[in-house]
Chains A and B, each alone.
Chain A
Amino acid sequence: MTLHRLAIDSAARHPDRLAVSCGGDTLTYRELDDAANRFANRLREHGVGRGDRVVLWSDKSVDMIAAMQGVLRLGAAYVPMDGTSPVARVTMLAADCGAAAVCTDAGRLAEAGTAIAGSAPCLDLHSPSTMDIDPVNEESDDRDLAYILYTSGSTGVPKGVCVSHRNARAFVDWAVAELAVGQHDRLANHAPLVFDLSVLDLYAAFAVGASVHLLAAELAYAPAQLVQFLYEERITIWYSVPSALVLMVRDGGLLERPAPAALRVVCFAGEPFPIGGVRSLAGWTDARLLNLYGPTETNVCTYHEVTPADLDRDRPVPIGRACSGDTVWAQRPDGTVAGRGDDGELVVTGPTVLLGYWGAPPQRGPYHTGDIVRVLDDGSFDYVGRRDHTVKVRGHRVGLGEVERTIAGHPDVDDVAVVLVGSGIEARLVAFVVPVRDRTPGPLAVKAHCARLLPSYALPEHVHIGPDLPRTGNGKLDRPALVRRHTELVARRAERGLVPAGQKGKAR
């Protein structure tokens, strides 16, 4: 069954129930249905049809959700992009996926129209209410493409992960059953819509006629506002990266208030959750705590529900065992299956595994995650680390090679290295740039260059300009030395009383 069928069926069953809310705007299921049809009819007038791709470039809004539904109803696929993405990046990815239309907020239309220059129509994402609301529900197969999520690849080129209706439904159907999502649930949407975590929030709600409550991207790490949102929106199912929960506990005063009685599930994913944070949450709420695991390429393929025994661990909770109908195992470098106590790369096969990357041959056979896991005594898995040079920044996978290659493309840059410093909520990308002789690119010029080509989470927070990069005896880049160099520079600033924000000692 297709992904957009969920909201269509809920609109027929519960037309007056709340479907989506965002910053004071709301849509009932009937309103969502009408808005989706309006948008689909308008796209159709512009020639969009089955098999096409449509870029949706917008801040979170109820209209953005209606637009996603509208695209699917045409049998087309949506390609979401954050509103803060620079137009150059939107143009590049629209060209990459051969978008049949680019839809955005009124304020960005002129800019988009100029940049895209006739290769695809640019339309206002917010449809006029005069458009007809005739139902649109094109025949589509559950193996058709539903959406493309662009991720940062280790090879240095952004990769469009192609997800079919069937891929997404396998996960959504599992989540609805496992979390027993019902029509009275109120799901928080913390993740950006370009991030696969948002798939659970939206479609688990639509599957049962529940409501999803979107949190603006700018509030995603504002501790007090996050806590306020949880209470005021009377959230029953929360899903976010651990970083957001850490902030709510550390700086948002979460534990000082009694846990809301309505909150019954807290899911986290994207990065390891320090066990201390899990203990704090477990002591505060009776809600079920679940660790979900999976790269964008497979959505959630394993999960673990936190048990009282887990709280005695000295490391993060396991990523658990297979779900969503998938089969997973740990594979040793020699290709054999790792046994209990052994480490191996996690390999996934099953209904959630991606169709393939846009523009590349279809995915055949199991997906190799690049994540190293340890097989536990009960057959479930612990996350150990990455096999390659990709790192995680607040749940987003970033290829250091992609960032380095991007910076190296600046005409004033001779050499560059990018490292990750800190971990968890403090994780940040730091770039070291060696300029071309007689050129002096400023750190901001380098950032501006990156912003045109990289997603926002992959932008370096600090850019150091210097004469050289440290090498080891055999000439290889000495990344640990770079991390030390950054730490020394931070310390030197601290001596002068200048401590970068976010690195000040916080009261815990």
Chain B
Amino acid sequence: MKQAEVTDALMKFIREEFLWGDDSRELTESTPLLEWGIIDSLRTALLLTHVREQLGVFVSPAKINARNFRDVTSIATLVVAEAPEDPPFADATNTSNSGKAGQA
């Protein structure tokens, strides 16, 4: 799983879901997400669900802390580190219909 692909997927999700499309293109990879209230604990949960369902990565609770969710770059780094050796979807960022990760 490549960092750049994960970053793109996260940027897209955050723009669409939390920033109404971000028409003025203000979001960057280093925008402080928690500090500016772009994600809060409720939205962190939604983001984790997305990461699990679309990227097939289950982030363990111990890794869910403010440092790892500071900005898009930090989250992407975390997701890549938490990804299984053989990702279930080789090109997960472009295969949104490829199925769920099977997490209850």
Contacts and interface: CB of A to CB of B under 8 A. Distances in A.
Given A498-B16, A501-B18, A444 B26 contact: yes
B45 to A, nearest CB: 4
A86 interface: yes
B38 A447 contact: yes
A95 to B, nearest CB: 19
A145 to B, nearest CB: 28
Given A107-B67, A459-B37, A502-B42, A228 B61 contact: yes
B16 to A, nearest CB: 6
A47 B57 CA distance: 49
Contact of B38 (A444, A445, A493): A444
Interface stretch (B1-9, B28-36, B80-88, B92-100): B28-36
A88 to B, nearest CB: 10
Contacts of A461: 37
A499 to B, nearest CB: 8
Given A447-B36, A451-B36, A502 B43 contact: yes
A225 B18 contact: no
Given A223-B45, A500-B20, A253 B64 contact: no
19 contacts: A85-B35, A216-B64, A218-B41, A218-B69, A222-B45, A225-B61, A443-B19, A444-B19, A444-B26, A444-B27, A444-B38, A445-B26, A447-B38, A450-B37, A456-B34, A457-B40, A461-B37, A493-B20, A502-B42
Contacts of A442: 24, 26
A175 B23 CA distance: 50
Contacts of B35: 84-86, 451
Contacts of B61: 216, 219, 222, 225, 228-229
A228 B40 CA distance: 20
Given A84-B35, A217-B41, A24 B64 contact: no
A448 interface: yes
Given A217-B66, A218-B66, A219-B61, A440 B45 contact: no
B36 A219 contact: no
Contact of B66 (A83, A86, A493, A501): A83
The interface centre, meaning the residue of A85, A222, A224 with most chain B CB atoms within 10 A of its CB, is A222
A17 interface: no
B94 to A, nearest CB: 18
A500 B21 contact: no
Given A222-B41, A444-B26, A502-B46, 6 more contacts: A218-B66, A220-B41, A247-B45, A443-B19, A443-B26, A444-B19
A222 B104 contact: no
Given A59-B66, A444-B36, A501 B41 contact: no
B45 A448 contact: no
B3 to A, nearest CB: 21
B29 to A, nearest CB: 14
Contacts of A456: 34, 37, 40
